[in-house]
Structure 1
C-alpha cells in the first residue's frame, strides 16, 4: 500500500530526480512566501496591486504552490502540468503588476529575475518531465490487482 514514493522517485532517471527536486524547492519557497504574506497582512496582503484579479491570484498561490509541491513530490503528471500553468501565470502576473517599473526604475526589474528564471526552468522541463513521470505512473504496482 502507500504512495510508492521510493519506486516513483527511484524509477526516474537521475536528471528527472534533480529537476523534481528543483521544482520542489521552488514551489516550497513560493508556498512559504505567500503563506507568510497572508499570515502577516491577511487578505489584504496584495492590496498594493490595483487589479482585484491579481490580488486573488496571489492569494490563491498560498494554496496552489503547496498543491504543486505535493503533486510533484508524489511524481504525479498532474503536478508537472500544474507547475507549468502556475509558473506561466505567476511570471505573467508579476511582470504585469510591476510593469510601471520599466518607466520608473528599470533596475528594480532585477527583482523579477529569480521568478522569471524559475518559470523558464519549469516550462523548459515540462514535456520531458511529464514523459518520464507518465512512464513511472503507468507501470503496474506490485501487489495490485
Structure 2
C-alpha cells in the first residue's frame, strides 16, 4: 500500500473516531456548544446514530475493509448535510460561527474522501462471495 494511501486511511480512521467521541459527548450532554434543546427530534436521532456509525466505519477501515471506506463516505456526506441544515437553517445567527466552520471542515473531509476513494478502494479487502 503506498504511503499516501496509508495516510488517508489513518487520518480518516482518526477523524471518524474523534467524531464518535464528539457525538457521544453531545449525547451525554458533556460538550458545551452541542445541539440545543430545540433541535428537531429527527436530527438528534441522526446525530445519536453517529455514536455507532462513526466508530463502526473507523473500525472497518482500520481493518482494511471496503465497507469501512464506503460507510465513512456516507457518514461524512450525511454529517456535512445534517450540520449544514443545523448551522444554516436552524441557526439564524448571521456570519461565521464555530458551527459553520465545523460544517465546512466536515464538507471538505467528505469531498476529499470521496475523491480519494477510487485510489484507496483497490487496497482494501472485499467481502468474500458465497460459493
TM-score by length of 2: 0.80
RMSD: 2.2
Partner Cα separation in structure 1 for residue 53 and residue 96 of structure 2 = 30
Q: Which of residues 44, 56, 66 is equivalent to 1:55?
A: 44
Asked if residue 116 in structure 1 is aligned to residue 104 in structure 2, the reply is no
Distance 1:52 1:102, change over 3 A: closer
Q: Which of residues 20, 37, 42 is equivalent to 2:26?
A: 37
Partner of 2:129: none
Partner Cα separation in structure 1 for residue 29 and residue 23 of structure 2 = 10
Distance 1:49 1:67, change over 3 A: farther
How many residues are aligned here? 121
**Structure 2: any 5+ residue segments left out of the alignment?**
127-131
Indicate conservation of the 8 Å contact 2:16/2:58, yes or no.
yes
Deviation for aligned residue 1:46: 4.0
Indicate conservation of the 8 Å contact 2:17/2:58, yes or no.
yes
Q: Which protein has the bigger helix share?
A: 1
TM-score by length of 1: 0.73
Partner of 1:17: 6
**Structure 1: any 5+ residue segments left out of the alignment?**
1-11, 139-145
Partner of 1:87: 76
SS in 2 for 1:99: helix
Partner Cα separation in structure 2 for residue 40 and residue 103 of structure 1 = 23
Indicate conservation of the 8 Å contact 2:20/2:54, yes or no.
yes
Partner Cα separation in structure 2 for residue 126 and residue 51 of structure 1 = 32
Indicate conservation of the 8 Å contact 1:77/1:130, yes or no.
yes
Distance 1:101 1:111, change over 3 A: farther
SS in 2 for 1:125: helix
